[in-house]
Amino acid sequence: MSSVIFNNREHFAKFLGAFICLFLIVSCEKDPDPEPAPSHEPAFANHEITVNGVTFTMIAVEHGCFIKGEKASSQYYKTPVVLTKDFYLGACEVTQELWKAVMGDNMPSHFKGDSLPVDSLTYEQCQTFLDKLNALTGKRFRLPTQCEWEYAARGGVLHESYTFSGSDNIDEVGWYKANSGGTTHPVAQKKPNGLGLYDMTGNVFEWCADAFSLVSDPLYKKDTVYDPETYFDSDFCWVHRGGGYSSIKEEITVSDEWGDFPNTAETGYGLRLALSR
């Protein structure tokens, strides 16, 4: 019988095919699935960076969308904003320790202490600091745009619906007029928001990359804005966000924005680092 089957090419092909299939099934049952090929895309995670012995953390902020101005205490346009690019934001405001590690001195600050945020900064001094930091690290640190700042203050993709960054109770998350004692405080003493960002409410105002104009700035229109570009206009003030140690809570929600001329230094003016992915 077998000689008849194998003399027939068609039957032999079927028999061989069935044998090969059975062999492959048994082999797959014995051998585990192969490891997936490693991805060449670097993991998007928080980064620790050290400069002249001082280490600071940059928090990974995934892209997403939010309604700009939704929680503002005063009358603002409520503008849908879509950010399509990931970025990093400093877990804390730039401290005096980091400032000295980069600049070699601590001349700007009115309040003194390594763990205190650097204060009394003009927008222009922030740019000088960033230039020197980038020369030391080979990176391209910058100030956040005000939309990046507000999106992160709201918890990014977590879409936290708090009035302040991380809580509806300002005393949990920020130093402001009623609890600061008239001075700045060491960073990261209060509760962070969901992304792990400290002091986004209070302590010191944080300069942003944008100037603003109520007349021509696209962020003051109600249409959806995608990846808004930094807006510059020398006739208007540069934005700073988050409020400071002398601010009243009614004026420093996650959406309230303030501005000043770029050469103005107040004791409540500091900065937070941003970095594109």
Q: What is the CATH number of the domain that holds 268?
A: 3.90.1580.10
Do the domain assignments include residue 214? yes
**Same domain for 26 and 156?**
no
Question: pTM of whole model > 0.75?
Answer: yes
pLDDT recorded at residue 78: 81
Do the domain assignments include residue 39? no
Q: What is the DSSP letter of 1?
A: -
- Residue bearing tokens 């700045």: 184
| 154 contact partners, CB below 8 Å, separation of at least 6 | 66, 160, 162, 165, 193, 254
**Same domain for 122 and 240?**
yes
> Among 132, 115, 235, 262, which residue's Cα sits nearest to residue 184?
115
What are 86-143's pLDDT values in tens digits?
Answer: 999 999 999 999 999 999 987 799 999 999 999 999 999 999 999 999 999 999 999 9
Q: Domain range holding 135?
A: 47-276
**Same domain for 231 and 170?**
yes
**Same domain for 27 and 94?**
no
Residue 73, amino acid: S
Calculate the dihedral angle through the C-alpha atoms of 4, 7, 10, 13, rounding to the nearest 10 degrees.
110
**Same domain for 51 and 29?**
no
Do you know the residue count of the chain? 277
3-state helix, strand, coil in the chain (%, to 5): 25, 20, 55
What are 31-83's pLDDT values in tens digits?
Answer: 444 455 555 556 899 999 999 999 999 999 999 999 988 766 555 668 899 99
Task: Locate 139 and state its tokens.
Answer: 């990176």
The residue that leads in pLDDT, 104 or 234, is 104
**Same domain for 112 and 11?**
no
Do the domain assignments include residue 40? no
**Same domain for 26 and 53?**
no
SS3 of residue 260 by DSSP:
strand
Mean pLDDT of 260-276: 93
**Same domain for 148 and 267?**
yes
Do the domain assignments include residue 10? yes
> Among 52, 149, 62, 35, which residue's Cα sits nearest to residue 100?
52
**Same domain for 267 and 228?**
yes
* CA dist., res. 83 & res. 68, Å (int): 12
**Same domain for 23 and 60?**
no
pLDDT recorded at residue 3: 40
**Same domain for 147 and 78?**
yes
pLDDT band, very low/low/confident/very high, at 235 (cuts 50, 70, 90): low
Q: How many domains does the chain have?
A: 2
**Same domain for 30 and 51?**
no
The residue that leads in pLDDT, 237 or 150, is 150
What are 169-218's pLDDT values in tens digits?
Answer: 999 999 999 999 999 999 999 999 999 999 999 999 999 998 875 545 66
- For 79-130, what is the HEC assignment? EEEEECCCEEEECCCCEHHHHHHHHCCCCCCCCCCCCCECCCCCHHHHHHHH
Do the domain assignments include residue 195? yes
Do the domain assignments include residue 41? no
